[in-house]
């Protein structure tokens, strides 16, 4: 990168608003070698799973990866929406290797069934993309008392990664990509306060806490699986014009709509991470606009060194037996239990 390009990129990061908008992507795509060196390569025959691919960023990523030769299998909550998405992805990509499975990430039994069905018909998985996201305006919990944001955004992706680990190991070098959100920049990871109690619940804050946890867990997965050939990447897609943003953050949407990225632009770094040679990417980094970026622009949000390890251990225990629970923040916050054996590691 030239000195000028480096300076402009740093300025975009410092200014925040242009850096996460279509302005930043437009400028970087003309200056950074990650963009000017050419289009992401084809990945013919690679098996990809994407969660949340019936609309928005996930749908755009599915289309782009299918165009590059991937066999795309996506997770959806309802059959009607899944079938519409399958037809649309196939038509836009020209690929016939589009399939789906049904599961609600807030139903861990359904997540187990989805993983089991995939592994019954696939012995390898090259790319797993955790993209699905949901903001619950009011406190909601499952029958065991686990708040649904923590359940769907933290526990379920962790569980799905564990269940699919044998297929990821079989395909090594493979990769897991987690799509985060800018809200994480305002939050500090503390396993003891990750799950907000009903009395102090705010949907946007709960979502931001979950996204911070996702990024920290991606880094911890990378540490624990170093040398296995399975790489882990977390990324920020930028500020993207999606139905979810419009519904969950109407004020933000109205103010920023003119500069929001399209879903296709938001999916750009996902595609880049899914297709680049593994030696170019490493593992355990946090990305935005095809470059590693700081996770902590606000210094007071940096967690203590043990936080990610503690959360990983809690989730490992919670998904391996029927008794352990995640840390609680208060008497009105209770976590769920699970019964999934740990995957083989090598």
Q: Which residues are catalytic?
A: 207
C-alpha angle with apex 320: 314 to 321, nearest 5 degrees? 95
Task: Identify which of 57, 12, 18 has the alpha carbon closest to the alpha carbon of residue 32.
Answer: 12
Q: Give the integer Cα–Cα distance in Å for 213 and 218.
A: 9
Q: Give the integer Cα–Cα distance in Å for 16 and 12.
A: 6
What's the full length of the chain, in residues?
Answer: 346
Tokens matching residue 44: 């013919």
Q: Give the integer Cα–Cα distance in Å for 298 and 304.
A: 14
Q: What is the DSSP string of 180-202?
A: --GGGGG----GGGSS--GGG--
CB atoms under 10 Å from CB of 317, counted, come to: 16
């Amino acid at each position: 990168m030239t000195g000028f390009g480096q300076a402009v990129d740093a300025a975009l990061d410092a200014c925040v608003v242009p850096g996460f908008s279509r302005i930043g992507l437009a400028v970087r795509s003309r200056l950074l070698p990650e963009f000017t060196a050419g289009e992401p390569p084809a990945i013919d025959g690679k098996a990809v799973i994407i969660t949340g691919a019936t609309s928005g960023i996930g749908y755009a990523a599915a289309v782009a990866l299918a165009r590059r030769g991937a066999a795309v299998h996506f997770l959806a909550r309802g059959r009607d929406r899944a079938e519409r998405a399958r037809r649309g992805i196939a038509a836009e990509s020209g690929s016939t290797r589009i399939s789906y499975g049904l599961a609600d990430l807030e139903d861990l039994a359904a997540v187990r069934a989805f993983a089991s069905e995939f592994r019954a018909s696939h012995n390898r998985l090259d790319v797993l993309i955790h993209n699905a996201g949901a903001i619950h305006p009011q406190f909601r919990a499952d029958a065991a008392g686990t708040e649904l944001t923590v359940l769907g955004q933290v526990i379920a992706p962790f569980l799905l990664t564990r269940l699919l680990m044998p297929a990821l190991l079989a395909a090594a070098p493979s990769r897991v990509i987690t799509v985060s959100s800018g809200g994480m920049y305002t939050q500090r990871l503390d396993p003891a306060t990750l799950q907000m109690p009903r009395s102090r619940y705010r949907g946007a804050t709960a979502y931001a806490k979950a996204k911070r946890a996702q990024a920290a867990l991606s880094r911890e997965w990378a540490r624990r699986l170093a040398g296995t050939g399975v790489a882990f990447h977390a990324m920020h897609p930028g500020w993207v014009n999606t139905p979810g943003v419009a519904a969950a953050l109407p004020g933000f949407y109205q103010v920023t709509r003119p500069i929001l990225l399209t879903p296709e632009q938001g999916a750009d770094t996902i595609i880049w991470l899914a297709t680049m040679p593994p030696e170019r990417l490493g593992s355990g980094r946090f990305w935005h606009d095809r470059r590693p970026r700081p996770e902590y622009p606000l210094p007071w949000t940096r967690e203590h060194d043990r936080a990610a390890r503690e959360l990983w251990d809690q989730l490992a225990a919670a998904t391996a037996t029927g008794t352990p629970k995640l840390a609680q923040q208060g008497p009105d916050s209770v976590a769920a239990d699970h019964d999934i054996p740990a995957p083989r590691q090598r």
